[in-house]
């Protein structure tokens, strides 16, 4: 978690305006507030988590990214962050489009379904993968649209979304993703972090 926060923080310029979509209990917001910018908002669907954030004095709105991002004007944030949440939406494509409208830049992090540990589980056990990063069983997972680093990379190219930076994370090891190492990174990383722009 800490590694992911550091990477996200490094992608963000100081004193910019940030929206964290699916901000949970506000841990990333707090982290960024201490390290990067005071001007940070959150959007979260769970009442309980929204209340936790508000209790910490964080500016968070209870709402659903699929319907409530519309209320923000175009390019009203310098960065919009979607941390490990894309797979939980009914319509991820719509959400990405909304994020790209609201934010000048968008940071998306993806739990990589192409990670070899995940692949091996399906290959050898023949069951849906359950890992540290994806701890749910198939019948109770909130993750509706799992994808791999490669899937997201290809998605961006096919939709003409510019990738400014793409970073792979394995445990605490950080590396850049590019076209030539894509297949390898897709196999050897548990998390992909993308900085994109429409």
Partner 1 sequence: MNKNIDTKKIIISNPLRLDCGKEINNFPIAYETYGELNSEKSNAILVFHALTGDQYVSGKNPITNKDGWWSYVVGENKPIDTNKFFVICANVIGGCMGSYGPSTINESTGKQIGTDFPIITINDMVNAQYELIKYLEIEKLFAVVGGSMGGMQVLQFVANFPDKAKLAIPIACTSSHSAQNIAFNELGRQAIMADSKWENGFYSNYKLNPDKGLAVARMAAHITYLSEKGLQEKFGRKLQDRDSLRYGFEADFQIESYLRYQGSVFVDRFDANSYLYITRAMDYFDLSKQYKGNLSDAFKETKTKFFVISFTSDWLYPTSENREIVIALNSIGADVGFVEIESDKGHDSFLLDVPSFLKTLGDYINSTYKVINERRI
The full length of the chain comes to 198
* Calpha distance 49→23 (Å, rounded): 8
- Give the DSSP letter string of 55-117: HTT-EEEE--HHHHGGGSPTT-EEEEEEES-GGGSS-HHHHHHHHHHHEEEEEEEEE-TTSHH
Task: Select from 71, 131, 157, 183 the one that contacts partner 1 (CB under 8 A).
Answer: 71
Distances, alpha carbon 54 to alpha carbons 5, 72, 158, 167, in Å: 20, 20, 39, 31
Residue closer to partner 1 (CB basis): 4 or 98:
98
- Shortest separation between residue 147's beta carbon and partner 1, angstroms: 29
Rounded to whole angstroms, how far apart are CA atoms 110 and 148?
8
Counting contacts by CB under 8 A, is residue 2 touching partner 1? no
Site for partner 1 in 87-146 (CB under 8 A): none
Site for partner 1 in 138-197 (CB under 8 A): none
Q: Please say which residue, 58 or 110, places its beta carbon nearer to partner 1.
A: 58
Of 190, 151, 140, 188, give the one whose Cα is nearest residue 1: 190
Residue with Cβ nearer partner 1 (10 or 76): 76
Contact 26, 60 (CB under 8 A): yes
Smallest distance from the beta carbon of 140 to partner 1, in angstroms? 22
73 binds partner 1, rule: CB under 8 A: yes
> Residue 27 Cβ, how far from partner 1 at the closest point, in Å?
15
From the CB of 7, what's the least distance to partner 1, in Å?
26
Closer residue to partner 1 (CB): 26 or 192: 26
Asked if residue 72 binds partner 1 (CB under 8 A), the reply is: yes
Grouping H, G, I as helix, E, B as strand and the rest as coil, residue 191 is strand
Longest dimension (CA), the chain: 48
Within positions 27 to 66, which residues make up the interface with partner 1, using CB under 8 A?
Answer: 38, 41, 47, 50-51, 53-63
Question: How many amino acids of this chain bind partner 1 (CB under 8 A)?
Answer: 21
Rule CB under 8 A: which residues touch partner 1? 17, 38, 41, 47, 50-51, 53-63, 71-73, 76
């Amino acid at each position: 978690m800490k590694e992911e926060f550091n990477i996200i923080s490094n992608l963000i310029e100081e004193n910019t305006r940030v929206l964290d979509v699916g901000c949970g209990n506000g841990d990333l917001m707090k982290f960024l507030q201490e390290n990067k910018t005071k001007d940070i908002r959150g959007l979260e669907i769970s009442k309980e988590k929204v209340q936790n954030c508000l209790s910490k004095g964080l500016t968070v709105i209870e709402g659903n990214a699929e319907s409530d991002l519309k209320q923000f004007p175009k390019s009203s944030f310098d960065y919009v962050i979607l941390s490990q949440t894309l797979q939980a939406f009914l319509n991820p494509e719509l959400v990405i489009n909304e994020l790209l409208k609201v934010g000048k830049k968008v940071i998306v992090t993806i739990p990589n379904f192409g990670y070899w540990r995940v692949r091996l589980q399906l290959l050898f056990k023949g069951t849906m993968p359950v890992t540290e990063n994806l701890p749910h069983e198939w019948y109770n997972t909130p993750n509706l649209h799992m994808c791999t680093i490669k899937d997201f990379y290809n998605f961006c190219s096919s939709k003409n979304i510019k990738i400014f930076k793409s970073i792979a994370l394995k445990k605490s090891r950080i590396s850049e993703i590019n076209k030539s190492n894509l297949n390898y990174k897709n196999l050897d990383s548990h998390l992909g972090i993308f900085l994109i722009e429409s």
